[in-house]
Amino acid sequence: MSSFGFGTLTVALFALVCCSGSDEKAFEVHMRLEKLITSLNKILLLKQTQWKHYLISNISHDTVLWCHFTCSGKQKSVSSNVSVYQPPRQVFLTLQPTWVAVGKSFTIECRVPAVEPLDSLTLSLLRGSETLHSQTFGKAAPALQEATATFSSMAHREDGHHNFSCLAVLDLMSRGGEVFCIHSAPKMLEIYEPMPDSQMVIIVTVVSVLLFLFVTSVLLCFIFSQHWRQRRMGTYGVRAAWRRLPQAFRP
């Protein structure tokens, strides 16, 4: 017998059938977990002379639930495997870098916090509807931890025309549950063409020549201005000295 529960509020409905002909006084029930890690909360929902129906809660991990009962003086027990799950609520996608040249590498990372059981989780990294990478997780992975999937690829021109996203799927069908799917928000890459080396050399040469011409023109302007200033000051000095000479010494 198996039951399924969500998070720390695991629900297991237990129906116990006793041997025929027994009365209510002869029917006693005791329930416990396989490992007494947490206290067990149980609520009696229904009962008859030959069975009792309980609501079990406060189970936070996969466990085996044992029910011991006495039927007409005979002790018996039954067990139920209880599986706890936490469906993915958020999926985060990161592109690094977000602006990349054609032929250069970039990385896609997908993160899903607090999901359980990890061995039933699959993360798929998508470009449009195309699956680039899928990742599953083993049973040894710790529960309620952040699940991460990464994938590195070379940038192509067409990558700039597609959305990148992550799909998280928690498949519990094999355990008697359902399938939970959630997508991340889509993101896009900014793709640009790398500049050829020859073109870069031409640009550097042109910039260098223009800078040289600019500096040369500034220096020439400074030299001509100084020369013009000196010539002008020299003429004014001779005229002033001529005026200061006495009339007798003038020719």
Please list the residues that pair with 153 across neighbouring strands.
Answer: 106
> How far, in whole angstroms, is CA 218 from its chain's centroid?
56
Pairing between strand 99-101 and 27-33? Answer: unpaired
Threshold 0.75, pTM exceeds: no
In whole angstroms, what is the distance from residue 43 CA to residue 167 CA?
38
Q: Which helix (H) or strand (E) holds 45?
A: strand 41-47
pLDDT of the chain, 251 residues: tens digit per residue: 445 555 433 344 444 444 444 454 544 555 555 555 466 777 888 887 777 787 877 777 778 888 777 777 778 888 878 778 889 999 999 999 999 999 899 999 999 998 888 889 999 999 999 999 999 987 755 555 789 999 999 999 898 899 999 999 999 988 888 999 999 999 999 998 876 656 666 777 788 888 888 888 877 787 777 666 666 665 555 455 545 555 554 45
Q: Which domains does the chain have, with CATH numbers?
A: 9-17+27-82 (2.60.40.10), 92-192 (2.60.40.10)
User: Taking a C-beta distance cutoff of 8 angstroms, is the pair 80, 64 a contact?
Assistant: yes
Strands (E), 48-189: 52-57, 63-71, 74-85, 92-96, 99-101, 105-115, 121-127, 130-136, 145-154, 164-171, 179-183
Sign, Cα dihedral of 201, 206, 211, 216: positive
Strand 130-136 with 145-154, pairing:
unpaired
